[in-house]
Chain A
Amino acid sequence: MSGPEGTRSSRRSLQVKFVPDEDVLKHIADDAGTKLRKDKAQLSVSMKRFVKKLENISDNEAQEILEEKNYVAALGICAQDPVGNGSNISGGEVYSFQTPKRSSKMAELASELAQTPEQNVAPDHSKCSEKMAKTPQSSNERDVSSSNACFFFAVQSKKKEFVSTTPYRLRKRLAAADPYLESESEYSASCSEEEDEEDQKEVSIVLSSQKTPGKTKAASTPPPRNSLAKKIKEQKMGNLVEEYFEAHSSSKVLTSDRTLQKFRKRRLNQQTLHDLLKKAPLAYAAEIRDLNHQHESLFSKWMLQLHLGFNIVLYGLGSKRDLLEKFRTSLLQDSVHLVVNGYFPSITVRSILNSITEEVLDHIGTFRSPVDQLEFIIKRFKEDSSLELYVLIHNLDSQMLRGERSQQILAQLSSLPSIYLIASIDHINAPLMWDQAKLSLYNWLWYETTTFSPYVEETSYENSLLVQQSGSLALSSLMHVLHSLTLNARGIFRLLAQHQLEKKDNPSYPGLSFQDFYQQCREAFLVNSDLTLRAQLTEFRDHKLIRTKRGADGVEYLLIPVDDSTLTDFLEKEDEDV
């Protein structure tokens, strides 16, 4: 069924084999050609068979489909909820694959959004229709899914428009203001690839686009009454698969080459970022407050349900920290409770268990393993029925806690009748952490608490992409370590840093080879034998100041794993000191 895949794999296998060169050439030319043709033929044949099979669909299957539909209907029943999630969205819309769009699309959308007239004015229809025309696939999806069928025919042929011809209006506009940017080429592939691979890809795309019309035609022939649903579903599946492989057909992604450095935008550090955001007014504060009030009215219900043996998990967009904090301060003041900041980068299950044993149970002593510790806790809580503990976990799905073992331990902890757990999750895939066994231990009740509040605390620890946090941190640690070393050692490090900075324009700089480095150090009277240098390097490596890499020729290369700007700063500071 899947053309692109087939051809690709056959090509791969040919590359692996060892055969004389000319043979290879001939082979590839011949074989690939015939393969393609054959595949096409097979495709149409299998297509026919496929349709036949569908038409002969048995009553049984039809029954199944009906049942399934009932299920969807039953689960889809969603009356007006006070808070209400929008479950009128079919799964297809949430999870569907999308064809890769070019980044110009983003600029386009941005300019479109920017041009949107005042919202209080009724939307004028000409603009609306223009927009519909521009994004045919999304409008199509929306129409069908809004009808009861909730399946969508993704119009394949429309999506095949790979080369977007729309001018990059916005880009031009912005670029004109910045001549520095205009001078360079706009786009390049992220990795260089041979021409023939591109050709191959082209072929596969043609193949898949040829396949699609055939398929849609097959589906449009009047099918028997009952198999229609099934067929639509099959088709949808087929399209999804194609789209997936289309999106991943090559490792090449076309994006612009612009970087933040060239953008001449200084990176903000954590503190200024924080200050700036504090100054910026929070949008829709009143509405957000309303939302929070709605959630706060549920507090007593949460308490009741916690006491009845359920545990509570909160989900939805927006930080739930303040909400939980409010819950804590308003209802838990008279009881023992434990607050766990899951987003904290160094939190572990061990520390959670430790704080329970040491501070709640007043136990002094250590445990061999978390499991032992858990057993001890369980025993204590079972023995003493007057013990009660509320556990609040912000971000149960954080990096440190999402592991299988941590979740198992937390689940077992939460299954104790006198431990009440209330937790929040944010990651879209967070529910995948739990299998049936853990779910039954947790005994969750789900509450949707969309707050739209910014994740201030949660993201502050993150090594964010745009924040210059790592730089300042690395710099201070560099200084600290270096100051504790001997003068010679500092000199050695300086040499390496300087060398690295000299080569900063060379993107494929592998590092300084050990022999060269030794030579330089000798010349600067920093070391007298390569053994002393090695000892020094070991010390650096232990402090993670340098990284060594063995090149293809077996030579050892040394590299400082810090970005150039930090290194420059470091050298400047060093100069000041000296």
Chain B
Amino acid sequence: GCFVFKPSTKKRRSSEKTAHDFRSGSDDSEDTELRFVTCQSLWNQIKSETEQIQEDLNKQLLDNLVSFLSRSHSEFQEKTTEWTCRMKFREIPTAALVLGVNVTDHDLTFRGLSDVLQDNITPYIALLEAKDCPGIKNLMQKLMGQLMNCDVDVDSLEDEDCVQVSQNRIRCSMSSLISWYESVTKKTDSETPSKKRNSSSRHWQSPPVVVIFKDMESFTTKVLQDFIVISSQHIHELPLVLIFGIATSPMIIHRLLPHSVSSLLCIELFQSISCKEHLSTIIDKLLLTSQFPFKLGEKVLQVLINIFLYHDFSVQNFIKGFQLCIVEHFYSQPLSVLCCQLVDVKKRVYSLSHDQCENIRRLPSFRRYVEKQESGKQVALLTNDSFLKEETVKLLEDLHVYHENYVSILRCLHVFTSSLPKYPLGKQIRELHCACLENRVWETEEYESFLQLARMLNKTDLVAMLQQCVEILMSSSGKEFDKSVEKLKEFLTQFQNLEEASQERDVSVSSQKELQKKTDLYHLQKTLLELKESRRSKKLTKFEMLRFEVVDYIDSLVRKYLVPADDRTLHEIVYFNAATVLRGHLNAAPRTALHTALNNPHWYLKNQALKCDGGGISNKAPDICIVYKLHLECGRLINLVDWLEAFSTVVMAAEEPNADAASSDQVDDTIHARFIRAVSELELLGFIKPSKQKTDHVARLTWGGC
């Protein structure tokens, strides 16, 4: 079943090839090269950025782990009393690392961890996975194999003989491990101090052996227990440290290990950041920034976030989706060549070909823009390429400025919305971002309720929020915010002044004091009514007036800057909006596709004969569709004879609509063959299977047959 094909000629380099594929896919050949390069560099930038983010987020965790490891190790080193007493109890220092359910992201964390450990603590690290260790023997084999290999890394000059011994031939037992450890540490001891400083100064004299269980939950209990019990016997000879990677909760340790075993461990708990926080940071750094020219449209972002929230919680998958977006965008949009850093825009626009200019003119957003101009300019835009290019540069710069402003104001708005009760516009900034991208946010109901709630904020909160806004605007790169900052600062000073002149409120306070006196129900009601009357008639206090002003000002900022991107001219160049494509590739529904093909073949085969109203199916449909449709009418078992007869009735009617059943006492061989083929196709697709319950019957498998 396997066939290898080898070309006779030597092939080209792969990178060239990739570029070649990129080129051959699109029609115009001129800019593809540049587009591909832009795409690749952008992706590389983003990739390194995400890696940086990941590293920063894990830093705290890794630092804690490193200090834990060095602590457990130093005790062994100095042979202090504490260690000896622990040794008496044979406790293995253990770090329980709670990583969350997004198992697919853990690999990166572990890789980072082992790198850090390698640099700081010890060269002896073994990463174990449950699927490699079905038994204690395999575990030991794996462990020793990894340890001996990393030994080679550190002092590669000597002990070649040791390397040659393949792991299979070593007797894998704890004692051989210990003797290996002794020989290794002795060797380092015997070296001259100076040399040692040079070669491995970062490690201690007898570094601990770190064993990482990547997915602790999936290990068999027996293996874990055995390993722990055995190694606890030898803890005084081998400074072992365990790290458990845990996806669920730390309780799992106690569920997996009985008390007698878990008492051999000295567990310390470490918690990594949650995947949601991770995602927020990623979105913050990748999308809500003007650093990268490429942007995601609302629906695309929604699809990515939904896949994250409803399917896997995996940040890696989110980034993969992002990568796909970039590739798709640069591949499908010829104008994406302009999706670059602002400094390059001018040069690229001026080198555009005539065809590309036509492409610009064809953009819907650009057409809308042209329609708004006066007639003279319209003609110039539509006919004069160089004028168009000038205009394009200007528009692209506008777009860039719009982004900068958008992000800052979005953050300011988020300061307000995130602290309001019930979060009318979403708790996370990504929700707010989506809402703003989708349509004019100030026209939504949620925004209305946000304004109402904001008008009821108390003073301390309001002041704090304003201060935050001022900070955000000051730090933003946009140039237009000087005035806004001034204005906000002015509001702040006004609030300051209010405090001094707040004596007048005593009156109302006194009336409220009255309420607190002992009174009966009737009087209470009366006073309350009076109070209400006076409230209504009373004009707003200074604070309230000021609060209205502030909210109105924020509102005006929102209306000015948070215009949805779809309204901006040339947004097609930097925004990727093909959510359908993305969803089709990442979150496909194979069953739905099959269902459609079987029930409604006209969807795919554009033939008039197949067109059918409602849920019915034409009798001219492909055989498999007819057979499928007939089988839907059956119970759990299907009689093949009945099925065949029904099928032949349909098919014969389709072939000769006028001839009646008279001619067909025997089923035609061809039809029989077609039936056989269709049935075996259904079997391949998993709708039916042969059944032994009754002769010549098949069992249905959908809706949980058998």
A interface footprint on B680-696 (CB within 8 Å = 1, 0 otherwise): 11011111001001111
Residues from chain B with Cβ under 8 Å of A75 in the complex: 303, 306, 583, 587
B interface footprint on A452-479 (CB within 8 Å = 1, 0 otherwise): 1011001100101111000000000000
Are A359 and B4 closer than 8 Å at their CB atoms?
A: yes
Are B585 and A339 closer than 8 Å at their CB atoms?
A: no
Are A436 and B103 closer than 8 Å at their CB atoms?
A: yes
Select B634's contact among A106, A341, A352, beta carbons within 8 Å. A106
Q: Given the complex of chains A and B, what is the CA–CA distance between A356 and B654 in angstroms?
A: 50
CB contact under 8 A between A86 and B323, given known A103-B639, A111-B649, A428-B591:
no
Q: Given the complex of chains A and B, what is the CA–CA distance between A118 and B634 in angstroms?
A: 27
Q: Does B497 contact A (CB under 8 A)?
A: no
Are A308 and B606 closer than 8 Å at their CB atoms?
A: no
Are A118 and B657 closer than 8 Å at their CB atoms?
A: yes
Residues from chain B with Cβ under 8 Å of A118 in the complex: 657
Q: Does A301 contact B (CB under 8 A)?
A: yes
Interface of B is mostly: helix
Are B703 and A96 closer than 8 Å at their CB atoms?
A: yes
Select B670's contact among A77, A117, A279, A283, beta carbons within 8 Å. A279
Q: Does B472 contact A (CB under 8 A)?
A: no
CB contact under 8 A between A258 and B650, given known A316-B597, A335-B7, A452-B601:
no
Closest to B311 in A: A436
Q: Given the complex of chains A and B, what is the CA–CA distance between A431 and B310 in angstroms?
A: 17
Select B131's contact among A89, A283, A408, beta carbons within 8 Å. A408
* Interface residues in A266-311 (C-beta closer than 8 Å to B): 268, 272-273, 276-277, 279-280, 283-284, 287-288, 290-291, 300-301, 303-305, 307-308, 310
- For chain B, the bracket of interface size reads 35 or more
Are A254 and B673 closer than 8 Å at their CB atoms?
A: no
Select B589's contact among A85, A120, A178, beta carbons within 8 Å. A85
CB contact under 8 A between A173 and B646, given known A284-B605, A431-B590:
no
Q: Given the complex of chains A and B, what is the CA–CA distance between A351 and B5 in angstroms?
A: 15
Q: Given the complex of chains A and B, what is the CA–CA distance between A84 and B603 in angstroms?
A: 9
Residues from chain A with Cβ under 8 Å of B132 in the complex: 371
* Interface residues in A62-119 (C-beta closer than 8 Å to B): 71, 74-75, 77-79, 81, 84-87, 89, 93-98, 100-103, 105-111, 113-119
Residues from chain A with Cβ under 8 Å of B589 in the complex: 85, 87
Q: Does B368 contact A (CB under 8 A)?
A: no
Residues from chain B with Cβ under 8 Å of A39 in the complex: none
Q: Does A338 contact B (CB under 8 A)?
A: yes
CB contact under 8 A between A102 and B591, given known A440-B104, A446-B585:
no
Q: Given the complex of chains A and B, what is the CA–CA distance between A139 and B104 in angstroms?
A: 44
Distance of B693 from chain A, by nearest CB (Å): 5
- For chain A, the bracket of interface size reads 35 or more
Are B673 and A98 closer than 8 Å at their CB atoms?
A: no
Which of A116, A334, A346, A351: most chain B CB closer than 10 A? A116
CB contact under 8 A between A94 and B591, given known A174-B661, A342-B1:
yes
Q: Does A247 contact B (CB under 8 A)?
A: yes
Distance of A277 from chain B, by nearest CB (Å): 5
Distance of A567 from chain B, by nearest CB (Å): 16
Q: Given the complex of chains A and B, what is the CA–CA distance between A173 and B653 in angstroms?
A: 14
Q: Given the complex of chains A and B, what is the CA–CA distance between A256 and B303 in angstroms?
A: 49
Closest to A348 in B: B1
A interface footprint on B612-625 (CB within 8 Å = 1, 0 otherwise): 11111111101110
Q: Does B168 contact A (CB under 8 A)?
A: yes
Q: Given the complex of chains A and B, what is the CA–CA distance between A170 and B312 in angstroms?
A: 51
CB contact under 8 A between A74 and B303, given known A300-B25, A308-B327:
yes
Are A452 and B2 closer than 8 Å at their CB atoms?
A: no
Residues from chain B with Cβ under 8 Å of A288 in the complex: 605
Are B646 and A280 closer than 8 Å at their CB atoms?
A: no
Are B683 and A464 closer than 8 Å at their CB atoms?
A: yes
CB contact under 8 A between A114 and B670, given known A85-B593, A106-B634:
no
Distance of A81 from chain B, by nearest CB (Å): 6
Are B676 and A466 closer than 8 Å at their CB atoms?
A: yes
Closest to A87 in B: B592
Q: Given the complex of chains A and B, what is the CA–CA distance between A95 and B595 in angstroms?
A: 10
Distance of A503 from chain B, by nearest CB (Å): 17
Q: Given the complex of chains A and B, what is the CA–CA distance between A427 and B685 in angstroms?
A: 4
Q: Given the complex of chains A and B, what is the CA–CA distance between A284 and B18 in angstroms?
A: 36
Residues from chain A with Cβ under 8 Å of B24 in the complex: 300
Are A268 and B665 closer than 8 Å at their CB atoms?
A: no
Residues from chain B with Cβ under 8 Å of A347 in the complex: 1-2
Q: Given the complex of chains A and B, what is the CA–CA distance between A253 and B647 in angstroms?
A: 21
Q: Given the complex of chains A and B, what is the CA–CA distance between A170 and B630 in angstroms?
A: 14
Q: Does B254 contact A (CB under 8 A)?
A: no
Q: Given the complex of chains A and B, what is the CA–CA distance between A84 and B3 in angstroms?
A: 33
Q: Given the complex of chains A and B, what is the CA–CA distance between A429 and B705 in angstroms?
A: 14
Q: Given the complex of chains A and B, what is the CA–CA distance between A247 and B704 in angstroms?
A: 9
Q: Given the complex of chains A and B, what is the CA–CA distance between A95 and B587 in angstroms?
A: 18
Distance of B453 from chain A, by nearest CB (Å): 15
Are B639 and A255 closer than 8 Å at their CB atoms?
A: yes
CB contact under 8 A between A77 and B600, given known A114-B653, A190-B694:
no
Q: Does B513 contact A (CB under 8 A)?
A: no
Q: Does A327 contact B (CB under 8 A)?
A: no
Q: Does A450 contact B (CB under 8 A)?
A: yes
Select A255's contact among B604, B609, B672, B694, beta carbons within 8 Å. B694
Partner-contacting stretch, out of B188-196, B270-278, B313-321, B484-492: B313-321
Q: Does A548 contact B (CB under 8 A)?
A: no
Are B636 and A247 closer than 8 Å at their CB atoms?
A: yes
Distance of B33 from chain A, by nearest CB (Å): 14
Which of A71, A114, A170: most chain B CB closer than 10 A? A114
Q: Given the complex of chains A and B, what is the CA–CA distance between A451 and B600 in angstroms?
A: 14
Are A340 and B2 closer than 8 Å at their CB atoms?
A: yes
Q: Does B440 contact A (CB under 8 A)?
A: no
Q: Does A437 contact B (CB under 8 A)?
A: yes
Q: Given the complex of chains A and B, what is the CA–CA distance between A287 and B606 in angstroms?
A: 6
Which of A78, A273, A347, A440: most chain B CB closer than 10 A? A440
Q: Given the complex of chains A and B, what is the CA–CA distance between A305 and B649 in angstroms?
A: 47
Residues from chain A with Cβ under 8 Å of B5 in the complex: 328, 332, 336-339
Q: Given the complex of chains A and B, what is the CA–CA distance between A111 and B650 in angstroms?
A: 7
Q: Given the complex of chains A and B, what is the CA–CA distance between A429 and B666 in angstroms?
A: 37
Are A315 and B588 closer than 8 Å at their CB atoms?
A: yes
A interface footprint on B96-122 (CB within 8 Å = 1, 0 otherwise): 000000011000000000000000000
Q: Does A447 contact B (CB under 8 A)?
A: yes
CB contact under 8 A between A436 and B314, given known A119-B609, A388-B14:
yes
Q: Given the complex of chains A and B, what is the CA–CA distance between A434 and B696 in angstroms?
A: 34
Distance of A563 from chain B, by nearest CB (Å): 10
Given A71-B310, A263-B644, 16 other A-B residues pairs in contact with their CB atoms under 8 A: A75-B303, A89-B592, A89-B595, A111-B649, A114-B652, A116-B616, A119-B612, A190-B694, A247-B635, A258-B696, A268-B673, A291-B605, A315-B590, A317-B685, A338-B5, A466-B640
25 interchain pairs, CB-CB under 8 A: A75-B303, A95-B591, A103-B634, A106-B631, A107-B646, A113-B629, A117-B657, A119-B618, A139-B615, A261-B695, A277-B673, A277-B677, A303-B17, A304-B18, A304-B21, A307-B21, A334-B7, A336-B4, A344-B1, A371-B132, A427-B686, A428-B590, A429-B686, A448-B588, A462-B683
Query: Which residues of B are in contact with A by a Cβ distance under 8 Å?
Result: 1-7, 9, 11-12, 14, 17-18, 21-22, 24-25, 103-104, 131-132, 168, 299, 302-303, 306, 309-310, 312, 314, 316-317, 320, 323-324, 327, 331, 579-581, 583-598, 600-601, 603-620, 622-624, 626, 629-647, 649-650, 652-654, 657, 661, 664-667, 669-670, 672-677, 679-681, 683-687, 690, 693-698, 702-704
Query: Which residues of A are in contact with B by a Cβ distance under 8 Å?
Result: 71, 74-75, 77-79, 81, 84-87, 89, 93-98, 100-103, 105-111, 113-120, 123, 128, 131, 138-139, 142, 170, 173-174, 177-178, 190-191, 244, 247-248, 253-263, 265, 268, 272-273, 276-277, 279-280, 283-284, 287-288, 290-291, 300-301, 303-305, 307-308, 310, 315-318, 328, 332-342, 344, 346-347, 351-352, 354-356, 359-360, 368, 371, 388, 408, 418, 425-431, 436-437, 439-440, 443, 445-448, 450, 452, 454-455, 458-459, 462, 464-467
